[in-house]
Structures are given as C-alpha cells and as structure tokens.
Amino acid sequence: GFVYAEAVVVLCLKKLSKAKKDGDYIHAVIKGTAINSGGKTHGYTVPNATAQTKLIQTALERSRLKPEDIEYVETHGTATKLGDPIEIKALSDLFKHPLAIGSVKSNMGHSEACAGFAGLVKIILQYQNAILYPSAHALPANPYCGFDTNTLNVVIQKQ
C-alpha cells in the first residue's frame, strides 16, 4: 500500500553544450520530458490508463526515441491492486520487448513532490554502477499485473 516518505533531492541542471564547454562531469542527459494529469479517476492512487499511455508516447516523441530503444523504466508504482496494473498495461501497450522495471518507492516510500527526482537519481546510479538495484517487496508479485513470479524471483535473487 501507500507509504509516505520524506526526501530531498538536489539536481544541478545545465544545457549539455554549456556543460561540455565548462568541462563538467556529466552524470546523465535528459533527452525529453512529459507531464500530465490523469484527470478524473476512481481515487487518489488510481492512474488514468489512457493518460498514462499518451504520457509515455509524448515522452518518447519529445526525446526522439522509439520504444525499442528503452531497456529500463522507473515506474510510479502505487503498490495498489488497481494502480499498478494500469501502469503495467500502459507500458505493455507501448513496449513489446522485454523491459526491466523498478520503483524506488518500494524501497523508500512515496516522497510526494520529490518522488520523480528520487527515481531519476536511482536511474543514474544504476547506469553508473551497471546494476539494477532490487526493488524491496517485489515478491510476491502483484497478481493483478500478470507477472511471471519465477522470472521476477530470478532477477531479484541475482541482485
């Protein structure tokens, strides 16, 4: 279920050309962003499936990436019977290839306004260290998402 968390994330953003010119160490490059509001839904932790799919499509278009270019998605992860399957459905509608997913919220809780930035930091650290950090409480898998529990177990145990 929903677990509150407190967090602070500080990001220093700079145009790529300026960072290169200044000789800065570049941790990551943000290729594109998208934001939405699901509008009217059935509750606070229930995303809008259509809005989720459109959001992902918009982010891919703005970044000039194709779904097959993506190997990992840091999910919102509401940890609810209804919310997670909606998010997984939106991902499944666009990504037809094997895709690693995770959610920092399973490890730290939902830090409200900071949640997206915490996920971004997790992604950067995963790529810097060439590892997928395991998500806490991933097993048993949410039965409403249709995951193969044996596959999930292998991935988690390898971490």
> What is the Cα–Cα distance from 93 to 55, expressed in whole angstroms?
12
Where b means 16+ CB within 10 Å and e means fewer, 63-90 reads: beeeeeebeebbbbbbbbeebbbbbbeb
User: Contact, 73 vs 84, CB < 8 A?
Assistant: no
Sign of CA dihedral 158, 147, 58, 40: negative
Q: What is the pTM of this model?
A: 0.82
Q: What are the tens digits of pLDDT across the range 74-97?
A: 988 777 777 788 888 888 888 888
**3-class SS at 75?**
coil
Peptide bond into 140 cis (omega under 30): yes
64: left (phi over 0), alpha (psi -120 to 50) or beta: left
| 20-24, 30-34, 69-73, 99-103: segment of lowest average pLDDT | 99-103
DSSP summary character for residue 113: G
Q: Which residues pair with 102 in a beta bridge?
A: 74
Q: What are the tens digits of pLDDT across the range 29-84?
A: 999 999 887 667 666 667 788 888 899 999 999 999 999 999 999 988 777 777 78
| Residue 1 confidence (pLDDT) | 57
